[in-house]
Structure 1
């Protein structure tokens, strides 16, 4: 079912859900790539894994109209910004792409929060 079919979703919530799932993909890719760089990117890997989990949960809670979705969106935005800041410290393409996706996600999550 397309998000447009869920009539209880606002445009902001639909954008948040889409952005969260994109963040999950970017974070999982970045974390996997960071694993090959050892200690240099260990912190980035950990942030990406945590952020991927939070973004997935945020998307699920928004989709079901949870009464906690605004708090979850705020937490997700914070995690995205923290992770993006970490990714920005690395010159790897996967880190730069991830940071960009996460900043977009944070913006959409803040619109829900």
Structure 2
């Protein structure tokens, strides 16, 4: 069964897609930050938080969990903070990650408004 076949709204499907993209971008960014000469610990921590939250949030939405709303807010907040941190760094991986997690945060905020 494809995701489109599940009983999800377009907003929910978009949020799930954006969450999984954020997971990938954050895992990549955190890994790349390990090789940087400067202290990237805050960036790495935030990327790891977003990766975990976004993954859980997407899975909870897909199964229509009663806890999805709480994860929506937590994911949006973490993604916004991560985007701000990544934007502070000139590294390509950070800039790409910032853009992706910003989209994730926006779609989570749309989900919150739709609830």
Tell me if TM exceeds 0.5: yes
Q: Deviations over 1:78-97 (max 9, x none)?
A: 00000001101100000000
| TM-score normalised by length of structure 2 | 0.93
Give the superposition deviation at 1:40: 2.0
The Cα RMSD (Å) is: 1.0
1:2 pairs with 2:2? yes
Aligned residues: 112
Higher relative helix content: 1
Q: Deviations over 1:25-74 (max 9, x none)?
A: 00000000001115521110111011100000000000000112122111
Long gaps (5+) in structure 2: none
| TM-score normalised by length of structure 1 | 0.95
Distance in structure 2 (CA, Å) of the matches to 1:16 and 1:72: 12
Quote the residue 2:51 is aligned against: 52
Distance in structure 1 (CA, Å) of the matches to 2:44 and 2:24: 13
Give 1:1-113 correspondences, 5 Å limit.
1-7=1-7, 9-113=8-112
Distance in structure 1 (CA, Å) of the matches to 2:87 and 2:15: 22
